[in-house]
Amino acid sequence: MPDSVWTIVVAAVTAVVTTTATGLIVAPRLEARRKRLVEVHAARDAFGAHMLQIISACVHLQNIQLPPADDPAWTPVLRERLAGERERWWQQIDDATRWLIDNVATYAGSWPVRT
């Protein structure tokens, strides 16, 4: 019987020490790593969203041109509205490009480099 009690005590102490060590040493490192991975993925998502915005605005600009000044189907109001939309698309490209340049350090290091 004493051998069984000793085995149970040793097993319980081992479990407590292992759990404590894991909680004090391993868990904080895993939590810090998880935080870094979440930030990397958030940066990649933001990068992708800005690139999609640039691509979308470029497609709009390419596909929707201002009509000739002598086109009777376009009133001056419509022409002005379309010019305003085109200007807004250019501004979206500028804003997204500015964000990409300003935040390059956030997302550029998240992709492996070929050597």
Residue 1 has pLDDT above 70, yes or no: no
First to last CA, the chain: 65
pLDDT tens by residue, 11-70: 788 878 888 877 778 788 888 889 988 888 888 899 999 999 999 999 999 999 988 888
pLDDT of residue 110: 66
Residue 92 has pLDDT above 90, yes or no: yes
- Does 115 map to a domain? no
Q: Which pTM value belongs to this model?
A: 0.67
What's the pLDDT at 93? 97
Domain holding 33, by residue range, is 2-110
Residue 115 has pLDDT above 70, yes or no: no
- One-letter amino acid at 39 equals E
CB 93 within 8 A of CB 58: yes
* CB environment 46-82: b (16+ within 10 A), e (fewer): ebeebeebbeebeeeeeeeeeeeeeeeebeeeeeeee
| Residue whose entry in the numeric block shows the structure tokens 């640039």 | 54
